[in-house]
Structure 1
Amino acid sequence: MAPVRVDPQGKSGPSRAQARGSGWRTSSQGLFVPAHVDPLLPEQRIVEAAALLPSYGGVTGWGALRWSGGHWFDGLTDGGRTLLPVTLAAGGNIRERPGVRICEEGLNPKDLCELDGLRITTAVRSVCYEMRYAASDRLAVVALDMATFSDLVSIDELWAYALAHAAWTGIPRCRRAAGLADENSWSPRETLLRLVWELDAGLRRPLCNVPIFDESGRHIGTPDLFDPQAGVAGEYDGALHLLGAQRARDLRREEKFRNHGLEYVTMLAGDQADPAGLVARLLATFDRASAIPASRKRWTLTPPPWWVDTTTVLARRELTEAQRLRLLRNRAG
């Protein structure tokens, strides 16, 4: 709910007496919202910050991406315990306050738009900001991966924007991260574990959520990560996967992969903080995969003619709304 000013009539906002009561809270100087509105909801944090904008500027970073439909941009970090500030791309006489950061970098009018009554920066500008000021290269990769998850920007679009703004702070990090990004990662955790696979274990970059078929064109499964040269599938098991019904499905899925000549490795939530265990399991899995004879490998990445590709931003943008609902419903989140 957008903050409002005091209205002596109590129609468009609280009267002065109401504003002093328990039914309203101050969102910023001179602006109020009903006390029952949760100030921690990402969208509420965004609109309350946006109310501070001067005549020229917009919400940027994670706030703009969330407002544009970015599923994974919730404004939280540190395992969901810490609130990230909402960043405003604006100059003038506006000062930072708790929960609000000001970015005074030059702002081209072409990088501004209005969506559902809120001024925000374009998706490519917003994700570029997130990547440039990310706490690490890996978190910058997460930002781009998750922007592509919601089809807000493609990797090529980000590359073009970064090249056009080569002098900006953080662009080297942005470019490094773009070189590690993938348009078909389905969650931040998948991205981080993929980077352990590639950077810590020193293995070939795996494919993300690529469908695998048997020789008759039947879908075997879509593992989180897959190395087609080695025939190694990797799956992330979060807390949900420890539950009975889900665990049973996971075991059947693993058995199906193995029955078609694929090796299988499980990645756990704790592997991100301490990747040594995952690195050891990956290397052991690749060793086992190398011993599988070609006669047992009964799988292919070639889809049947009726299969609809959804592995890139471009392919997903071309889907009809009915196709999106049907084909993308099983993605994480």
Structure 2
Amino acid sequence: MTKPFDSSHLPDVFRGSEARKAGLITASQLRGSSVRRLFQDVYTRADVEVTHELRCRGAALLAPPEAVLTGRSAATVQGVELAKPHDPVEMVVPEKHRFGPIVGIKVRRTEVTPEESRPWNGIRIARKSRIALDLLLRLSPRKSGWVRRLRIGVPDLDQFMRAESLTDLHLNREFYGRRNRGIRLARHALRLSDPRAESPPESELRIVLAAGGITATPQLEVTARTGHFLARLDLGDEKFKVAVEYDGRWHNTPKQRAHDRKRRRRVEAEGWRFVIVTAEDLANDFEGIVESVWRARRRGAFSPLTAPRPDQKGVRMARV
């Protein structure tokens, strides 16, 4: 009976060709169940949890020293988990260097100055301002629908800015005075960003409203006429007293629904009207969301907690 291969002497991420040359593993063992492949010629032990950070270190084994880990990948390595374990590893490489294509690694060739990165695992990792820029430059300007692209990029930027305590003042220098492909969309996204947003769906909802001509403030605090704090709204239009809130799936428990209703009635008593947006709405009904908010601005006689959804016909929005 063949003794099972013990892979414990192997590092948690390694190049198969180098491990074979060093006599640590054979070609047949690389095809066995004791290791798993991350990229071409890059492996990890089967007992190691595959995280995005692990895959980034694996990609670094293949990349030239001038490559810069950036975007969602660099943010995740630095503790802001924007990338899932098996999302593509994002890198930029100076124009003069050829690298890729490699399945599982997304490479853009563009200008990167030495000041925009620092050493990391044999390659380089982008600094905060460059990460923020690349979170947006990663969105292909060729794809149709600028609102759709902003709905992807702005939530990432909001989360990163919030986690790293960044403001647009910190980032203006990085976003202006350059001519990268896609920079106009990136600047527009920066103007729409707001680190007060507490979740990606809230950021997406804000972009949908902006596309419909509605400006709403994230995490707006509402106080009673007596000055007492009542609630903090996902999004609030203070001028028209319209609250727009996202109810994710965790709001569907009886206890949470009762809590939400009680809280919202306190705010309604101060003259506010609510538009509640579900995950399904946000995925499929952009025009309905915008029309509901416009109607809530115009009408104050009904309680939106019990009113039927308005007719969607005739609504026009920017292409999403």
Please tell me the TM-score bracket, short chain as reference.
0.7 to 0.9
In structure 2, the partner of 1:151 is 164
Q: Percent identity?
A: 25
In structure 1, the partner of 2:83 is 74
In structure 2, the partner of 1:130 is 135
Q: Could you tell me how far 1:117 is from its partner in structure 2?
A: 8.6
Listed as ranges, the gaps of 5+ residues in structure 1 are 77-82, 293-333
Alpha-carbon distance in 2 for matches of 1:119, 1:192: 31
Deviations 1:8-67 (A, max 9, x none): 799xx943375454211233454331023344x333332222222222222111101111
* RMSD value, Cα: 2.9
Judging changes above 3 Å, is the alpha-carbon distance between structure 1 residues 20 and 193 closer, same or farther for their aligned structure 2 residues?
closer
In structure 1, the partner of 2:47 is 36
Judging changes above 3 Å, is the alpha-carbon distance between structure 1 residues 107 and 208 closer, same or farther for their aligned structure 2 residues?
same
In structure 1, the partner of 2:292 is 281
**Residues 237 and 243 of structure 2 are in contact (CA less than 8 Å); yes or no, is this contact kept in structure 1?**
yes
TM-score (norm 1): 0.74
Q: Could you tell me how far 1:147 is from its partner in structure 2?
A: 1.7
Aligned pair partner of 1:27 in 38, 42, 64: 38
Secondary structure in 2 matching 1:88: strand
Aligned pair partner of 1:55 in 65, 71, 76: 65
**Residues 216 and 236 of structure 2 are in contact (CA less than 8 Å); yes or no, is this contact kept in structure 1?**
yes
Aligned pair partner of 2:174 in 146, 161, 180: 161
Alpha-carbon distance in 2 for matches of 1:154, 1:118: 28
Count of residue correspondences:
279
Listed as ranges, the gaps of 5+ residues in structure 2 are 1-10, 141-148, 304-320
**Residues 146 and 187 of structure 1 are in contact (CA less than 8 Å); yes or no, is this contact kept in structure 2?**
yes
- The structure with more radius of gyration: 2
Alpha-carbon distance in 2 for matches of 1:115, 1:230: 50
Match for 1:74: what amino acid? Answer: A
TM-score (norm 2): 0.77
**Where do residues 1-333 of structure 1 align in structure 2 (5 Å cutoff)?**
2-5=12-15, 14-16=24-26, 18-39=29-50, 41-71=51-81, 73-75=82-84, 84-91=87-94, 92-114=97-119, 119-135=124-140, 136-151=149-164, 153-165=166-178, 167-200=179-212, 202-203=213-214, 205-272=215-282, 273-289=284-300
